[in-house]
Structures are given as structure tokens and as C-alpha cells.
Structure 1
């Protein structure tokens, strides 16, 4: 196995990015050639119909092609599996990420399992997506117990072995970045953030308003996958106190237990036990050791 920074695989997921991919690949190759280490530049063409793959190939990248559009996360999975080096760098194909930041990411990678390029504020994010991102940021901070400056940045350098371990739980869509961030923190890996600047994207974004619904599903998925007890314990406690109130009220005013109170108390126990079971199941799925 090659050492952390002895070699690097640079993976660029691309879908309908013919306007920018040639420029991005050329810029990445120029920076990679100055690294004084082995490197490979891999473009994963996610079923594009605009010649993205051909332009990336002409620019000098090794191109992997999906026969149809599978999603951003699926493209990263393909790149991770194909990569031959221990350190893998992801960056977007739309020209927002500056390839000159690659050496800085690699420098930080020596002491960390994952280094993420942190954008300032909501840079590069459309106005209509910012409320959802703010809520997601609050949720991710609570799930990880860390203050995370940029939870879904697509510009990052990470350990390939770590990424391979988490692939079974990684989604195929845009939430790959968010999920991998939480997985790294919850798995006890070392994560570092490096401030970066982003430029205006080249071409047209493929993100639509329908991603708002996907954001809601992402929130549900993250809570269920990484912190099910944070859902079931509050529900169990609330149900327990409701049952307790009904039970005490029944004894005080009727001299007997309230049927509603007993049902609520039983439900509280069931919510608690179900939460414990779900927590154990997702821990096994994440590959954690249950203690």
C-alpha cells in the first residue's frame, strides 16, 4: 500500500458539464504535474449526452462512463472503487473549485483522514437553497457534536480505505458529501477543514427545486442512520409522561388506573425498546462494534 501522499487519485464526477470539463481537467493536470508524486485524474461521466466524456478524454483524463445517469454519489463510488492510490481527492466539474488548492489539501491530509475545503458562508449556493442548508447544518452539527463550517462541500481529500468502508451506507445522490462527513465523525476519524474560495460555476446547474424534497428525505435518513435514539427517546419520554399524567389523574379522581394512561405507558416502553433495537441495527450496518 502506498503512503498517504506518495500518490493521489483525483476523481471528478461529471454530468452534462461539456462547457467546463475540458478547462477543469487541464487545470487539474497542470497542478497534479507539479506535485512531485504519482497521480491519476479520473473523470466519471454520469451518462451525459452533451459530449462531456469525450471532452474530458481529449483534455487528458481517464474517463469512466455510466451508461445512464446514476447520480453524484454513484459517480464518486465508481471513482473510489477504480482509484489505485490511498489518497483520493474529489472536486466538481463545473469550474467552481480551484485546482491550486489541491496541494493545500494534501498538506493537511498527512495528519487527517479527511480534509474538506470549507466555503465561506453560503458561497456557490443559490438563494432558494440556503434555508434548507442552514437547517441541515444545524442538524449535522447536532448529530456529530462538532461545529462544522461546511458539511456538504464537494472538494475534499480523504483516505480511500475509509471511503471503501463506508460505501455500503453512502447514497447515490447529492447527499453523499453530507453523509460521508457525518460517517467520518461518527466513525472516530480525524477531519480537518481548510478555507477555500469558489468561483461562479461554468454552464447550467443540474440541481432543481425537486431537490428540496430530497433534502427532507436526507434529514430523515441522517437521523435514522446515525442517531435513531435521538428520535425514539424523546418520543418515549413524552409518551411516558403523558401516560403518567393520565394514570395519576385516574387514581386521584376515579380511584383506579386510567386505561389511556396504561396504554400510553406501554407505548412508551415499546418506543424505547424499538429505539434500542434500531440503534443496534444501524450500528452493525455502519460496521461499529457494539459494546
Structure 2
């Protein structure tokens, strides 16, 4: 069982855009509790005093010359982190310092990543809660495992495993969805720890409908990347059913097989075969990926001695 020392093992990454008020309330309490914690604030082109507040509080600040996005800030912070484990939190003052140790305790049970999940009481609004429930339901069915909070920005993960998927992460707000599904589809274990979220300080940068649609696209993008057959098969079945039903209808009503039935049935076969080939390509890519991640075999004592000599 891995035991973590937050003051020596963990780098905390805080993506921030115009979050001077959130940081001024959060960072002093955080540093008072964990004085040795490496804190990296990524200033995503802020126009307020986000950078100045972070520096005054003693955090390491990395600045983007202009606003690139929340996901891009997370990627920047991960690249600059110097410790073995990454903790990701929001800089808007919603996440509480008291939940950090609970996340660590859950992680020490043997998970590859632990996500802080929000219940109904911790959601910003009813529409957002319903939207998150919808995304969780779709993602859970795709990966075959319960996903309690697909969009939570509070999580703890081993840095080397996080960096494996850095190229997949979008620059916008959908990075939590992407990394969560990537971990599930790659066979890494994901745990959940309940957290309490306070009311946001400042104005949210998240747009409910446009960003919600992007979240949905991210889910299907990750599915086609790691398990494309789950996307292609339903469409193949729908086309097959449409062609079959149309054939029965035209046969009994007109006594013939129509071109429309042929189109639907042919399309179902083509979609099925494309999905099958995509699944095989994905499997081969994943096998090559895991082989590249396999550590070299350990040397025997005699071989190690020869190398040393």
C-alpha cells in the first residue's frame, strides 16, 4: 500500500483565469496546512491580479501569454510538476482544503486515480446537476463501470500515468471527461471520494449548453478512440432493422424488394465492417502502447554485478 507525504510527494496544479479572489481565500489556508506542498498556479492569460496574488502567497506561477483554455493550463502545470503525484484542483475557491487528505487516503488504497465527486447538494444548479447525471450515465454505459462525476476537476493521479494521455486532452474544459474515460478504457483503476463544494467565488467561465455539447462530443471521441465498436455497432443494428422492416412492409404491401431496403441493409454491413476494422486497429495500437510502457526485465544479481563492474 502506497503511503503519500503531501509535503514531499505531491505537486498541486491550479489552472486559473481571473481567479484573484478565489486564490486569495484558498492559498493562504492551503499553505498554512501544508507548507511543503509544491503549488503550481497556471495563469491562463488573466487580466486581473491572479499572478500577483499567487506569487504573494508563495506559489510557483507559470503564465500563458494569452488565454488558451483550462485543459491547456492543466497540461502546462503537469509538465512543470517535479513530484511523482499530481493533484488537480480548481482555483475558484470551491474546493476545500479539508477534502485533500480524504482524497489521499482513498488513493492509498491502491487506485491509479481518485476523483472527488459532488453530490446533488454540491452542484451549482439543478440544470447542471441534471446535465452531469446525463453525462455520467452515458459514460458509465460506454466504459462498463460506474462513473460518479465525469466533470470533476478535483483529482489525484500518478504523474507518469497522467502524462501518457496528455496528447489526448483538449485545451478547453473537457479535460476531466477525457482523462477519466482514458483511464477506464486503458484498464487503470479509478476511485471516487465524496467532497463538499462551496459556492463559487467570481463568475464561472463554463457555458452550460455549448460546453455541455462539447462534453458529449468528447465522450464519443474517447469511445471511438478506445472502443469504436460501441459506436459503430448501434448504428449498424439500426440500419439493419430499418432495412428489414422496410423490406417486410414493401414485400407484404407491394410484393417486392425496394432500393431503400437494399440501401439500409448494405449500409448496416458497411458500418459493421468499418467498426470491426476500427476495433482491431485500436487493439493493435493499445497493445503497442502497453508494450512501450512495460519496464525492462530485472537483472539477476550476477548480471547486475557484471554491469556494475
- For Structure 1 versus Structure 2, the TM-score category normalised by the shorter chain is 0.7 to 0.9
The structural deviation recorded for 1:8 is 0.8
The structural deviation recorded for 1:56 is 0.4
Aligned partners of 2:31 and 2:37 also within 8 Å: no
Aligned partners of 2:236 and 2:272 also within 8 Å: yes
Aligned partners of 1:87 and 1:159 also within 8 Å: yes
Q: Quote the Cα distance in structure 1 between the aligned partners of 2:274 and 2:133.
A: 30
Q: Quote the Cα distance in structure 2 between the aligned partners of 1:224 and 1:155.
A: 23
1:170-206: CA deviations, max 9, x gaps?
A: 1111111122111111111111111111111222222
1:47 corresponding residue in structure 2? 45
Aligned partners of 1:31 and 1:102 also within 8 Å: no
2:102 corresponding residue in structure 1? 104
1:66-88: CA deviations, max 9, x gaps?
A: 11111111111111111111111
Q: Quote the Cα distance in structure 1 between the aligned partners of 2:65 and 2:18.
A: 13
Residues 256 and 230 of structure 1, relative CA distance in 2, 3 Å threshold: same
1:265 corresponding residue in structure 2? 265
Aligned partners of 2:99 and 2:196 also within 8 Å: no
From 222, 225, 232, the equivalent of 1:225 is 222
For residues 122-137 of structure 1, what are the structure 2 equivalents within 5 Å? Answer: 123-137=122-136
Aligned partners of 2:87 and 2:157 also within 8 Å: yes
RMSD: 2.6
For residues 122-271 of structure 1, what are the structure 2 equivalents within 5 Å? Answer: 123-208=122-207, 211-226=208-223, 227-247=227-247, 257-271=257-271
1:30 corresponding residue in structure 2? 32
Which has the higher mean CA deviation after the structures are superposed, 199-208 or 272-281?
272-281
Residues 249 and 202 of structure 1, relative CA distance in 2, 3 Å threshold: closer
Unaligned 5+ runs, structure 2: 292-309
Q: Quote the Cα distance in structure 2 between the aligned partners of 1:74 and 1:122.
A: 29
Number of aligned residue pairs: give it. Answer: 283
Aligned partners of 1:16 and 1:50 also within 8 Å: yes
SS in 1 for 2:164: helix
From 77, 81, 84, the equivalent of 2:82 is 84
